[in-house]
Every structure is written in C-alpha cells, then in structure tokens.
C-alpha cells in the first residue's frame, strides 16, 4: 500500500482542500465563519486569528487574561475582561453536596436553638436580672449564630458559584484584503 504525506484521512490532498491564496486562522486553521483579526505584531499568515478562537485560547492558556501575550512575537494582547459568576453546582461536588447541605442546615438550626435556650434559661434562673451578664450572653450567642451562618454561606458559595472571566473585547488591527494577500506572499 502506497502512503502519501500530502494525503488526509478522507483521501483529499492538503492542497486540494485549501486554497493556497486564502488566509487561515492560526489556531483553528479555518478561514470561515468569523472574520480574521490581527491582534499582535506578527506578520504573514501567522498574524491572523478568529476573535472567538483567540478568546478561548487566552482563557485556557492564561490564568490572568490581561497578562496574555502572543507566543510568537511576545507582544501583549490588549484585552478587556468582565468578571462573570454563575450559580451552578460543581459536578465533582454533587454526590456529597446534599449530605453536607443538610448537615450545615441542621448545625445552623441547632446553633439557633441552643443560643435561644441559653438566653431563656439564663433569664428565667437569674433572679437579680444582671443586665451586663445578660448582654454578654446575648452578644456571645449572636456571634455564634453569625459564625454558623457565615460558614453555611461560604459552603454554598464554594460549591455553587463558578467564577469565570469573560473577554469582552480584543483590540486588533483591522485586516484589509490587500494586506492579507501581501502578507501571504511575503511568507512564501
């Protein structure tokens, strides 16, 4: 069986599938469906990308999209970002989430009941009704209740809120058809 280095799996040759004069996105290697932009100082066919392809690449590659740069020319991309939060249960936490949520709810209710019971017992047993001791007990119980609700809120937040950055705009040089054909022929 004869093998040809120019053949693709479906039998087409590389040159017959792509127009040699077309400019392709350097990430997805397609010319359609989005328009191509040139967001950095690269020249030639390496200069062109689809904006959605570049957004996805930046979000996957860089923890901080504002620090994103071109790996070829090392120029920093001009990126505007917007924080985005979604309330969605993390897939890895689903099995234990219900159990933990019930446990935290019971803990918060138990803390409330104990706090009110302590206040009621103190108030009914203390005949002298020392206001300073009672105020101290109320403050301690309030702090205990707040801590339990803060822990519950943090549990819900860490298990349900997914934080992402959305790139709102990548500044780029506009690509004219004349520039694309000139750059293509400069590469060859």
pLDDT tens digit sequence for 66-95 = 788 888 888 888 877 777 766 666 666 666
97-151 pLDDT, tens digit per residue, is 777 778 888 888 888 888 888 777 777 776 566 777 777 778 888 888 888 888 8
Please state whether the predicted TM-score (pTM) of the whole model is above 0.75: no
DSSP for 43-61?
A: -GGGG-EEHHHHHHHHHHH
CA distance 77 to 74: 9
């Amino acid at each position: 069986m004869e093998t040809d280095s120019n053949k693709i799996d479906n039998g087409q040759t590389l040159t017959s599938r792509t127009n040699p004069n077309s400019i392709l996105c350097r990430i997805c290697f397609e010319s359609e469906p989005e328009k191509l932009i040139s967001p950095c100082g690269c020249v030639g066919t390496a200069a062109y990308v689809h904006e959605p392809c570049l957004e996805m690449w930046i979000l996957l590659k860089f923890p901080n999209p504002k620090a994103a740069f071109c790996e070829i020319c090392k120029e920093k991309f001009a990126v505007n970002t917007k924080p985005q939060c979604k309330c969605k249960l993390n897939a890895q936490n689903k099995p234990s989430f219900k159990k933990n949520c019930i446990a935290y709810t019971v803990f918060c209710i138990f803390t409330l009941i104990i706090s009110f019971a302590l206040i009621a017992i103190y108030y009914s047993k203390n005949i002298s009704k020392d206001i300073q001791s009672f105020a101290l007990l109320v403050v301690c119980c309030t702090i205990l209740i707040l801590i339990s609700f803060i822990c519950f809120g943090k549990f819900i937040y860490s298990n349900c809120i997914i934080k992402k950055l959305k790139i709102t705009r990548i500044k780029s040089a506009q690509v004219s058809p004349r520039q694309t054909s000139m750059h293509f022929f400069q590469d060859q």
